[in-house]
Chain A
């Protein structure tokens, strides 16, 4: 392994941070796509030169860019996201029904096996797939047309499909998470979907244990134990050991179980990371201390990771797509903040250092481990 490439999406452009395997000295490139909101950049697991980027602007809409040389050059590809068939309606803030309307692509998920296949999770919530390197996009309409669709409603950030989890055993099996509807899974390549929210409890909806309606913030899975999934919900950190069929709470021991991102150590399915935030009303760290929490036991037993992170006067947030792990032997961890810092830990979270301090607000962080 020769190094890492960290892909950072911000509210005003993208940045690429590169380092060798020590992850101590960084080269910072950017801003790329200056001025555009870069909701997500993601590299193909099969080809590290292939990177997809989602750029959007309130003025000019959605663009998808693709690089085939590791981010040195970029080509705009397809930006036509059209819902397939009857658009239908979903619930709006005032309780009325409102037609689905495409706003932006929140999350791009390149296929585990094919560099030309990539999924896009979009707002208003739907799942699209391209099989030609992002040139054309086709909706997997079975999800949006699920019988519960008219009951889905936007969270504060919009009604977005923000998380896509692939199953390393079977390309037809996917989990997605939608705010605010919850988790859905398919076993037939996206034709049919089932809610996967049993065990979740949300005090913010009329029926706390409803099948659909939960504000799931992020999911994570370890490829060596694919039936185990971890979840950061609006409140609660949850775990499933049966592929999402049921969930149980693993948040005991955290100072607060509200947060956005969750991730798993690259080589240990029982080591999990979250960034607790004070509350749904105060999206900043408790007591002004930026702390990542790590569990080495698959949840329920958490330790704060603080060395190198600000422990006073820190009131930034870490958004759902803004944490990632590399695959180097000692597992580097990275996260970006709404204050524009990107922190890196080359030792699984034991110590941290800022790579950059003054970027625009960070929306997403992904990392590629370079061969």
Chain B
């Protein structure tokens, strides 16, 4: 964990549709997240760097996760955890990525 004066490098995996939309070539990107590393904090930085992704992972107005988006890390489903809860230490330490996944749905 970090205080607001420092940033933490967080590894993030995005689904292919969103990588193409944001024109991100690599399968994984690294974001410098200020303060306590939470899902909300990661998404704030992601959307600031890639405004086109705003509204694609969480709704514009409510900031709620879209129904068919999932957050995984360390083989755990964090989708239903509070988005302001600290992410697991391996994510904060950079040994594990935060996985943003399009849920299995549709055809």
Which residues does A use to contact B, with CB under 8 Å? 35-36, 57-63, 76, 79-80, 82
Contacts and interface: CB of A to CB of B under 8 A. Distances in A.
Contact of A60 (B60, B61, B69): B69
B2 interface: no
Given A80-B60, A82-B60, A82-B61, A61 B17 contact: no
Contacts of B60: 80, 82
Nearest to B68: A59
22 contacts: A35-B17, A57-B17, A58-B67, A58-B68, A59-B15, A59-B17, A59-B66, A59-B102, A59-B103, A60-B15, A60-B18, A60-B21, A60-B56, A60-B57, A61-B55, A61-B59, A62-B55, A63-B21, A76-B52, A80-B54, A82-B60, A82-B61
Contacts, number: 43
A80 B58 CA distance: 12
Interface of B: 15, 17-18, 21, 52, 54-57, 59-61, 66-69, 102-103, 105-106
Could you say which of A36, A61, A76 has the most chain B C-beta atoms within 10 Å of its C-beta?
A: A61
Contacts of A80: 54-55, 60
Given A59-B69, A59-B102, A36 B55 contact: no
A79 B105 contact: no
Given A35-B17, A76-B52, A58 B61 contact: no
Grouping DSSP codes into helix (H, G, I), strand (E, B) and loop, the B interface class, with mixed when no group exceeds half, is loop
B61 A61 contact: no
Nearest to B61: A82
A63 B50 CA distance: 14
Nearest to B52: A76
Contacts of A62: 55
A58 B105 CA distance: 9
A82 B102 CA distance: 24
Contacts of B61: 82
A275 B61 CA distance: 41
B55 A59 contact: no
B52 A60 contact: no
Given A58-B106, A61-B56, A80-B54, 18 more contacts: A59-B17, A59-B66, A59-B69, A59-B105, A60-B15, A60-B18, A60-B21, A60-B56, A60-B57, A60-B66, A60-B69, A61-B59, A63-B52, A63-B56, A79-B54, A79-B56, A80-B55, A82-B61
Contacts of B57: 60
Contacts of A63: 21, 52, 56
B78 to A, nearest CB: 17
A343 to B, nearest CB: 26
A35 B19 CA distance: 13
B21 A61 contact: no
A222 B5 CA distance: 63
